[in-house]
């Protein structure tokens, strides 16, 4: 799966959402999250993020590896909605919710 990491927090550019062919990039209050079971690993989202927040799971930088678990755990309570557009927004992972405001 691909993974959204910390540079997305408090930015939410959303360019990635428009690229995803299966609409599996879901919105939290402070960042977006890729659904690990719905993502088909097409990679279309990765190059369009202006802050390079998106990585293939094996390519996450060391200090961002926790975001694989952050993206996966985000869906523990909402399951697999099968499409982000009609889903709306869900509460952030606790690690993200606890971050101080991120500089623009």
Q: Which residues bind ligand F3S (CB under 6 A)?
A: 2, 4, 8, 11-16, 19-20, 22, 24-25, 32, 34, 39-45, 49, 51, 53-54
**Rg of the chain on CA atoms, in Å:** 12
- Specify the residue, 26 or 79, whose C-beta has the smaller distance to ligand F3S: 26
- Specify the residue, 52 or 77, whose C-beta has the smaller distance to ligand F3S: 52
Residue with tokens 């690993």: 41
Question: What is the sign of the dihedral through the CA atoms of 47, 48, 50 and 53?
Answer: negative
Shortest distance (Å) from residue 82 CB to ligand F3S: 13
- Specify the residue, 34 or 70, whose C-beta has the smaller distance to ligand F3S: 34
CA distance from start to end of the chain: 27
Residue with tokens 């402070």: 30
Residue pair 53/5 in contact (Cβ under 8 Å)? The answer is: yes
- Specify the residue, 100 or 102, whose C-beta has the smaller distance to ligand F3S: 102
Shortest distance (Å) from residue 41 CB to ligand F3S: 5
């Amino acid at each position: 799966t691909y993974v959204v990491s910390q540079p997305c927090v408090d930015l939410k550019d959303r360019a990635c959402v428009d690229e995803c062919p299966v609409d599996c990039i879901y919105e939290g209050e402070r960042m977006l999250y890729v659904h690990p079971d719905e993502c088909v690993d097409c990679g279309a989202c990765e190059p369009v993020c202006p802050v390079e927040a998106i990585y293939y799971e094996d390519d996450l930088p060391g200090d961002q590896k926790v975001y694989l678990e952050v993206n996966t755990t985000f869906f523990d309570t909402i399951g697999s909605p099968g499409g982000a557009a009609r889903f709306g927004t869900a509460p952030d992972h606790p690690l993200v919710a606890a971050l101080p405001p991120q500089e623009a």
